[in-house]
Amino acid sequence: MTMAQDSDQSARYLKQAVELATGNVGDGGGPFGAVVVTPDGRVYEGVNRVTRDNDPTAHAEVVAIRTAAAAIGNFDLAGSVLYTSCEPCPLCLSAALWARIVRVHFAADRHGAAAAGFDDAMFYEYFEGSRPELMPVTRSDIPTSNAPFEAWRHFVDRVEY
C-alpha cells in the first residue's frame, strides 16, 4: 500500500469513529466512538457504553478492543490499529498497550473532551503526578505479597500475556 492510500484509509476509519461517537449521543451514550483494524483488515467498532451498562470502564476504545479480541478469539491484538474519535484517556491507553495495539489515531483531544465536561485532561494530570490528591494509592507490603507471582512462576501451564 502506498503512503497516500494508507493515509486515505486512516482518514476513513477516523471518520467512522467520529460518526459512531456522534450517533452514540442520540442512542443515550457518551460522545465517543472507536474502531480497531486488524493487520488482515478486519474492522471492529465500539461506542461508549458507560451509562447504558453502568460500567465505568466501558469507554469506546475499551469496547472496541473487547469486541475485536472476543471476535478474533485472542487477547493479543498485536499489529492492530486503534482509531478513536477522541484522544484516549489513560484507561484506554492502558487497554491499548495491554492489547499490543501498534498505533493509535485520534481526532478530538483531551481539551475538547474537557470543554464537553469530561475528566480526561484531569486524569492525565494525575498520571503526570500533579494531582495526587485525586486518589491516594498506598502500599502495604504483607508477608504473602509476592505469593501470587511465585505461584504463577511455578505453574508450567501458564498462558503468558
Ligand X SMILES: Nc1nc2[nH]cnc2c(=O)[nH]1
Q: Which is nearer to ligand X, 33 or 152 (CB)?
A: 33
Only segment of 4-12, 84-92, 94-102, 125-133 that touches ligand X (CB under 6 A): 84-92
Torsional sign, CA 129, 134, 139, 144: negative
By CB under 6 A, tell whether 13 contacts ligand X. Answer: no
Instruction: State whether residue 12 is helix, strand or coil.
Output: helix
Sheet strand arrangement including 103-108: 43-47, 33-37, 81-86, 103-108
Count of residues that interact with ligand X, criterion CB under 6 A = 14
Which residue in the list 19, 45, 61, 125 is annotated as catalytic?
Answer: 61
Q: Which set of grid coordinates corresponds to residue 7?
A: 493515509
Q: Are strands 103-108 and 81-86 parallel, antiparallel or unpaired?
A: parallel
Q: Which is nearer to ligand X, 65 or 88 (CB)?
A: 88
- 125 catalytic, yes or no? no
By CB under 6 A, tell whether 86 contacts ligand X. Answer: yes
Q: Which helix (H) or strand (E) holds 33?
A: strand 33-37
Q: Which helix (H) or strand (E) holds 69?
A: helix 60-72
Out of 17, 35, 64, 89, the residue judged to bind ligand X by CB under 6 A: 89
Count CB-CB contacts under 10 A for residue 26: 7
Out of 32, 35, 80, 82, the residue judged to bind ligand X by CB under 6 A: 32
By CB under 6 A, tell whether 113 contacts ligand X. Answer: yes
CB of 26 to ligand X, least distance (A): 16
Q: Which set of grid coordinates corresponds to residue 91?
A: 484507561
Q: What is the rounded distance in angstroms from the CA atom of residue 53 to the CA atom of residue 51?
A: 6
Q: Which is nearer to ligand X, 80 or 84 (CB)?
A: 84
Which residues bind to ligand X, rule: CB under 6 A? 30, 32, 48, 59-61, 84, 86, 88-89, 92, 113, 118, 120
- The catalytic residues are 61
